[in-house]
Amino acid sequence: MAARIAVVGGGVGGLSSAILLARRGFEVEVFERDAPPPADLADVQSWPRPGAPQSHHPHVYLGLFRRLLRENLPDVLRDMHDHGVDELPFSGIRGPVEPGDEDLVMMAARRNTLEWALHRAVAGESRIRLHSGVSAQLAEPVDGVLTGVRTAAGVVDFDVVIDATGARSKVGQQYLETVSEAECGKVYNSRFYALRDGVQRPPLQHGSVTVVDGLGYGAALFAHDCGVFSIDIGRLPEDEALKKLRDPDAFDRVVALFDKFAPWFAAGNATPISDVVPMPGLRNVLRTLKPDAPRGYFPLGDRVCLTDPTFGRGLALALAHAVRLAETFSTADGDLTRLNARTTREQVEFVRPWFDDVVVQDVARTSLWRAAVKGESWQDLLADAPPNPFLMIDAEEHDPELGLAARRYVSMLTRTVDTTEVYERIQAIMELSEAGEQAASTAPTYTDVLAALDA
């Protein structure tokens, strides 16, 4: 008889894990404290998700995520395509896509749309019971084994409990310890808009994203499904002046500074469909199990690794974790509860290069922004900064192989661009300082942004 599995948390990681396990013969029950999605995708923008505040912010779906979805949940991918999710090329100027680069695309979708499609897949699985609007805690371990979950109705016994409750949850925190932690150095402010009916989506710079790489701030526009798009403007956590971005009128005045975004708003093409939502307190966190954690407790996704949303890696890492866990369970002999220490250790080893890379990138960006805001010489910091993949892409007219390496890295199809060969190729095109100055010169200055906020 297959093990009975509880999944606590019905976000992307939890739902994906439940589907993958059910299709391998396991009986799964999902406990999600938020309400289920609306039946009609047209209503998904107003779906309240207090348990997933990140749903109010833009997401990108990188090549690795798309590959994992294509290989493991192809029906979910088809359903998203059937309901207005486009795949935008991220293959650059090289011509035809080379073998192995089929996933150099970005999916244009809202987070809520992805979860809506996952819920539809869950509804079609007879081995999954979904408890929406039900808050679940972990039951007390017995003889070192976690035996189930506790709800308002009492304790429900399970053989294994998967904790997919997210980065800031207190569920299971007594069983986790931090391996590494660092601030992201950024506060996000996001707003969603919708194109008028019949308006064609303007061209984008990088797959589903257009980036404004400023000094002291940063901005990006994200294309989503069904004519919806969003804009995010990031600031330093300590920057009191840019806190005014929370005001919708001030936010839109700053947005109007960005020439790259202008086609989306020309002739009244778009209207806002949300307030400006800030997202403070962001940290990169890598966790593992404590030595005395009970058997049968399996943290998943953001419970193990949380990275700066700037890089869009969280969804791919969570889905990769769900796939690995399902494969491990389906091929294991005997007691599944004893696998938690090994599978968590393996996930930490898998995500560690991505985590460390994000921390290095965050430190470099934050140092540049702080120098620029203080009026200090930020150019001196460029020589020690890690390679900027978007500058590498911008230089691919001169070095297509450099651009391809950057695109694969951004898509998470390769691990790093921080190699001696990459540095040599960058130096052959331009000095790093010149590259940085060229990029910065295309964006409004920090002073321009302050003036727009105060207009």
Boundary residue ending a domain (279, 299, 334): 279
What is the percent of the chain where pLDDT is above 70? 94
Q: What is the pLDDT of residues 54-91, one digit of tens each?
A: 878 899 999 999 999 999 999 999 999 999 999 999 88
In this structure, the answer to whether residues 225 and 334 fall within a common structural domain is no
Residue 401 structural domain: 377-454
Identify whether residues 69 and 132 lie together within a single domain. Answer: yes
What radius of gyration, in Å, describes the C-alpha atoms of the chain? 22
What pTM was estimated for this model as a whole? Answer: 0.93
Place of tokens 């923008």: 45
Q: Which of 304, 326, 357 is the last residue of a domain?
A: 357
CA angle, corner 407, sides to 118 and 379, nearest 5? Answer: 120
Report the phi/psi class of residue 182: left, alpha or beta, with left for phi > 0 and alpha for psi in -120 to 50. Answer: beta
Q: Which of 207, 229, 440 is nearest to 312 (CA)?
A: 207
How much is the pLDDT for 455?
79
Q: Is-contact 110 45, C-beta < 8 A?
A: yes
In 213-322, which ranges are E strands?
218-223, 228-235, 270-272, 277-279, 283-289, 297-299, 305-306
| Same domain, residue pair 275 and 295 | no
- Give the per-residue pLDDT at 381: 78
pLDDT score, position 436: 45
Contact indicator for 196, 62 with CB cutoff of 8 Å: no
Residue 363 belongs to some domain of the structure:
no
**What pLDDT is attached to residue 430?**
55
Among residues 250, 279, 308, the one where a domain terminates is: 279
Domain match, 132 and 9 both: yes
Considering its fold, how many domains does the chain have in total? 3
Residue 179's SS3 state is strand
pLDDT level of residue 433 (50, 70, 90 thresholds) = very low
Which pLDDT band holds residue 49 (cuts at 50, 70, 90)?
Answer: confident
Question: Where is average pLDDT lowest: 108-112, 303-307, 330-334?
Answer: 330-334
Answer yes or no: is 371 within a domain: no
What integer best gives the mean pLDDT of the chain? Answer: 90
CATH code for position 270: 3.30.9.10
How confident is the model over 173-186, as a mean pLDDT? 96
Kindly tell me the sign of the dihedral angle through the C-alpha atoms of 117, 123, 127, 129: positive
